[in-house]
Amino acid sequence: MHIPCGPGGFIHDYIPFYFGYLSPMLLQLHTGRVAGYAEGQTPIIYLKTTAQTIAQSGAGFVFSDGHGIAHYTEWFDTLDDLDKVDWEMVYQRYWSDNVDDMDRQRRKQAEFLVHRFCNWSLIRGIA
């Protein structure tokens, strides 16, 4: 997936940070739905930082309004566009698509991506 703004490149050129907790990917690992992976959540850690910390450092970044491989996901490269993220959905405990909203799961997976390298000094915590 090509990144159309910011430093550009491809999605795999970036270090992903979820905006919220209770990620769909962690649920997939926890429930054994990832082929070839059977270790559950135990070996997983989250590195925590803020979008502001990354931006102030001068590191290249982009963020999305949903899952990065969905074709209709939009990409942004300025913190002024953080209001484009559906924050209510990012922090939802339940995010399955339903008849009233078939885009919930994509929006839940909005991400902040740091280009190529994230200096350890920018990490604010481990969860």
Query: What is the tens place of the pLDDT at every residue in 51-83?
Result: 999 999 999 999 999 999 999 999 999 999 999
Q: Is the pLDDT of residue 105 over 90?
A: yes
> Which range marks the domain in which residue 88 is found?
11-126
Q: Is 113 within the bounds of a domain?
A: yes
How far is the C-alpha of 102 from the C-alpha of 90, rounded, in Å? 15
Query: What pLDDT was estimated at residue 127?
Result: 87
- Locate all alpha helices (DSSP H) within 9-114, ordered by sequence: 24-30, 51-57, 87-90, 104-108
Rg, C-alpha atoms of the chain: 15
Q: Is 6 within the bounds of a domain?
A: no
- The dihedrals phi and psi of 9, each to the nearest 5 degrees, come to 80, -150
Query: What pLDDT was estimated at residue 86?
Result: 98
Query: What pLDDT was estimated at residue 87?
Result: 98
Q: Is 2 within the bounds of a domain?
A: no
The total number of structural domains in the chain stands at: 1
How far is the C-alpha of 52 from the C-alpha of 32, rounded, in Å? 35
**Model pLDDT for residues 3-55, shown as the tens digit of each residue:** 999 999 999 999 999 998 888 888 888 888 889 998 888 888 999 999 999 99
Contacts 24+ apart (CB under 8 A), 50-53: 50/124, 51/79, 51/82, 51/112, 52/79, 53/122, 53/124
| Per-residue DSSP letter, 70 | S
Q: Is 1 within the bounds of a domain?
A: no
Judge whether 48 and 124 are in contact, CB under 8 Å: yes
Q: Is 29 within the bounds of a domain?
A: yes
Q: Is 5 within the bounds of a domain?
A: no
